[in-house]
Every structure is written in structure tokens, then in C-alpha cells.
Amino acid sequence: MIKTSFGVPAAALREITALKNLARHPNIISLHEAVVEDDRVFLVCDYADKDLRAHMNSMGKLLPQRIKLYAWQVFNGTAHCHSHRLPHRDIKPQNLLVHVATDCLKLCDFSLSRPVLSPRHQQTQRVASLWYRSPEILLGGPAKGMLLDAWSTGCVFGELLKHTPMFPGASEIETLMFQFRTLGTPDESIWSGLSQLPHWKDTFPRFPQPQPGRIEGLLPDRLGSLSGCDPMALTLLLSLLRLQPEARLAPARCLHHSYFFDLDTQVGMPCHLGRARGCSDQSRKAAASNCAKKRRRDGDG
């Protein structure tokens, strides 16, 4: 980051403050040191091989159990942020870093995060990248960071399942129409106060609502590339991608969803969060080796 005539950029200060407040967590990037040299600020953080989008591009379609492991870590890191009342507000695959050998995933880039000071605290509208922006923000409504994060984690989860973005619009209105085409055009009966939002128009196209409890109602026309997915994965996905903000499942509650019942998580492990049945033996052996080396170093120290 480059210093300005006014000193250290505000984005850098927010990043440093956020990472210090969140302390060390297996799914949050750790800040080890901030170095100011000449007119630049360098943040020394954990090493990671690549971001999630680049990892998906190089790996191709991920195995179902690896998707489950990555999704659990996204929810775990986001839930930790929310427990400190610090929504991330820009969750996307490019802000999720992957350590390939251990399948460990870490949330990074907190430059848009803002603390929630009170339930009525209004936050700025400068939030999430377009494809991961929630419908209430696209319609000019208030930017409530935790509800936005729930939507964005749902978009990331859907992208893991589909291997392509959920709502890849070229503009705000096109992104909104992608959302309505997939999830149905809302009305006041399912979203109270919808008609009062600044950008809502009664002339929007009317896409039908999916039938309650019928996941197959979204297939194949709307989520065709997800046909054959675990039904529990689709249930969890639709619990996050609710058009009405208050109806979305919180990331902390996602961790206890039945979709994750067969996931073996070891939260206390220093080198990796857990393992999923079906992940490669090579990844498991690498993780075990790294953990053993760290224990030996700690013992020698």
C-alpha cells in the first residue's frame, strides 16, 4: 500500500485494526507485522498458495467432500468475524486464500469491513463486489453488513457447487435480474417493505417463486448445473440466498447444518482445520507432517 500526503491510507488502518481485533483464527489470515518503508506500508501475513478462484480454475470441478470442507471454513471464518460484530462486507473467492497442501482456507482483505456499533448503525453503501452483492443493496436499501455477508457466503457456496458464479451480471440491474430469475421476483407478501426501496419498480419482470420445500422446482431451468448435487447442499444454499434479508441463515448456524454431518473437523489443529472423507491422502499426510514439524519447533523453543 502506498502512503498518501495524509499519512497511512484509511484502508490500511482498517485492515490492520480488523486483523488485530480478530486475533488468530484458523480461517482468518493472520497479521504478523506491519512495516512502513519510505512511502509504502507492507503487511506481513500468513503464506497461502493462491486465492480460491485461481485454485478452482487450476483444479477443475472440485470433489463434493472438498467443497464441503471449503464451505465449512468459509462459514467458520465469517461467523468468527460476526462474533466480534465486524462484518467483512466483501466476501468473494478472490478474498479467500487457500493453502493447497492442507486444504486450509483463510478469509482476507478487510479493507471494506466496518464494525457494527449498534443495531441502528447505518453503514456505507460501498460494499461487496457486484456478483456477490445482495438484492436489498442493489435496490438501494440499507447496507447491513452481517446480512450482506450471509448472502455473499451463499454466492461463494453456490460457486463452489457450480464451478461458475451464481449471478454474473455486467451491471447492477443485470445482476438483480439474475437473482430474480433464479429465486423468483419478490413481492410484499414475502419481503415486507420491498416497495419502499429506492430502486424497486413495479414494472420488473415477474419470475415465479420456487415451490416451498421443492428444491427440484429450481432444476433444471434455474440451477441446471446443480442437478445431481446433495439435496442437503441445495437446502443450505437456498437458506442463504433468501431475497428477504432477515430470512437468511446466519453463518454461525450454517456450521450446524445437517449437510456437514459427515465432516470431520478438528478446530484445534494448528496447521489445518479438518479433513473431509474423500480428500486426497497426500493432503492429509502433508498436513500431518507440517503439524509434527511445528510441534518439534515449539518444543525446541
Q: Tell me the C-alpha distance between 45 and 59, whole Å.
A: 25
What is the helix (H) or strand (E) element at residue 231, kind and residue range? helix 231-240
Helices 231-240 and 145-162: angle between axes, nearest 10 degrees:
150
Cell of 169: 451480471
Cβ(247)–Cβ(191) below 8 Å:
no
Q: Tell me the C-alpha distance between 113 and 21, whole Å.
A: 12
What 3-state DSSP class applies to 147? helix
CA angle 248, 138, 29 (to 5 degrees): 60
Q: Which amino acid, 287?
A: A
Question: Which listed residue (51, 90, 103, 109) is catalytic?
Answer: 90
Q: List the beta bridge partners of residue 265.
A: 274
* Annotation says 187 is catalytic: no
Compute CA distances 77 → 74, 81, 136, 290, whole Å. 5, 7, 24, 22
Cβ(172)–Cβ(130) below 8 Å:
yes
Q: Hey, which residues are catalytic here?
A: 90
